[in-house]
């Protein structure tokens, strides 16, 4: 495993395990246990995934010392106010059974996220959050937040994969010292990514799969990746990306796959934003 050093000196694994769309508690707990056994130390969940308690059970049972794990969760839109965030942070800590979180992120740039971030800054200074950051903050939103707050976000988790490469967004993150983290590093299976001819041909040179090439490409750009799978053999394959390097020529070939837009979500669609506001995760 390789690590990236965040802007506050905290070291974060460049590859982790995500539990998005694994709401079944037993399946989620087993998946996290399998991931930790396979070598993952970064586990990424969210209040909105409704599986923090299952992740917490796996952390408790895994046998790996807490300080060797890097646990991330996220603040949902419903709680994106100063007071809401203060409560939500404690709720997540309680659900996970932890005294502190390694990274806490605002899930969407919606509602009173500046007020929420103020509460996160306080929890960070108190030591309950070792690092704080955001998700889905597109360049202008991220610049505005960075120009407004006291503690610059350590991480911005956004959609990043060969078909949506976001070089402009990465440039803005670099300017502010924010580490990019990829959700959906496999494009949620779109474009036949697992058998894509360009990725497959590159992989053949190294005895690697198209999926492994897609992950390696992102980490070579300095992007943290959090692939998800409930199958242990796939988890192990996803972790097996640290013994080869893509050449500049390989990277240039993959650069040609960029469509320049997301085909998964449209954060400029008012209907999508309304839907996120109406999604409640508690009374």
Distances (CA, A) of 206 to 49, 106, 114: 36, 38, 46
Q: Annotated catalytic residue: which of 3, 40, 49, 124?
A: 49
Exposed / middle / buried, residue 260 (Cβ in 10 Å: 0-12, 13-18, 19+): exposed
Distances (CA, A) of 248 to 147, 196, 217, 252, 255: 34, 19, 10, 6, 10
Q: How far is residue 205's CA from residue 216's CA, in Å, rounded to a whole number?
A: 14
Q: For residue 224, give the nearest of 235, 233, 215, 236 by alpha carbon.
A: 215
| DSSP code of residue 99 | S
Q: How far is residue 7's CA from residue 282's CA, in Å, rounded to a whole number?
A: 33
Q: Is 261 annotated as a binding residue?
A: no
* Coil vs helix vs strand at 224: strand
Q: Is 124 a catalytic residue?
A: no
Q: How far is residue 223's CA from residue 201's CA, in Å, rounded to a whole number?
A: 23
Query: What's the per-residue H, E or C state across 34-65?
Result: HHHHCCCCEEECCHHHCCHHHHHHHHHHCCCC
What lies within 8 Å, CB to CB, of 159 at 6+ separation is 136, 166, 182, 183, 184, 262, 264, 265
**Binding-site annotation: residue ranges:** 107
Write out the binding residues for substrate: 107
Enumerate the active-site residues.
49
């Amino acid at each position: 495993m390789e690590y990236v050093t965040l802007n506050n000196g905290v070291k974060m694994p460049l590859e982790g395990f995500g539990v998005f769309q694994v709401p079944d508690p037993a399946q989620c707990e087993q998946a996290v246990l399998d991931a930790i056994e396979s070598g993952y130390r970064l586990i990424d969940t969210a209040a909105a995934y409704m599986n923090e308690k299952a992740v917490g059970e796996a952390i408790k049972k895994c046998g790996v010392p807490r300080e060797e794990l890097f646990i991330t969760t996220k603040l949902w839109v419903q709680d994106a106010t100063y007071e809401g965030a203060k409560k939500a942070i404690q709720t997540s800590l309680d659900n996970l059974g932890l005294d502190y979180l390694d990274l806490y992120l605002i899930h969407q740039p919606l509602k009173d996220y500046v007020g929420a971030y103020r509460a996160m800054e306080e929890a960070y200074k108190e030591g309950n959050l070792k690092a704080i950051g955001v998700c889905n903050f597109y360049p202008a939103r991220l610049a505005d937040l960075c120009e407004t707050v006291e503690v610059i976000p350590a991480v911005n988790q956004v959609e990043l994969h060969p078909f949506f490469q976001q070089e402009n967004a990465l440039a803005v993150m670099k300017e502010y010292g924010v580490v990019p983290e990829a959700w959906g590093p496999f494009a949620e299976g779109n474009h036949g990514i697992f058998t894509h001819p360009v990725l497959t041909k590159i992989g053949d040179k190294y005895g690697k799969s198209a999926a492994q090439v897609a992950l390696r490409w992102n980490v070579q750009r300095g992007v943290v990746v959090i692939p998800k799978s409930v199958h242990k053999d796939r988890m192990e394959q996803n972790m097996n990306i640290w013994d080869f390097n893509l050449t500049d020529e390989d990277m240039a070939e993959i650069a040609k796959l960029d469509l320049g837009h997301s085909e998964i979500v449209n954060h400029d669609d008012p209907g999508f934003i309304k839907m996120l506001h109406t999604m409640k995760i508690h009374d």
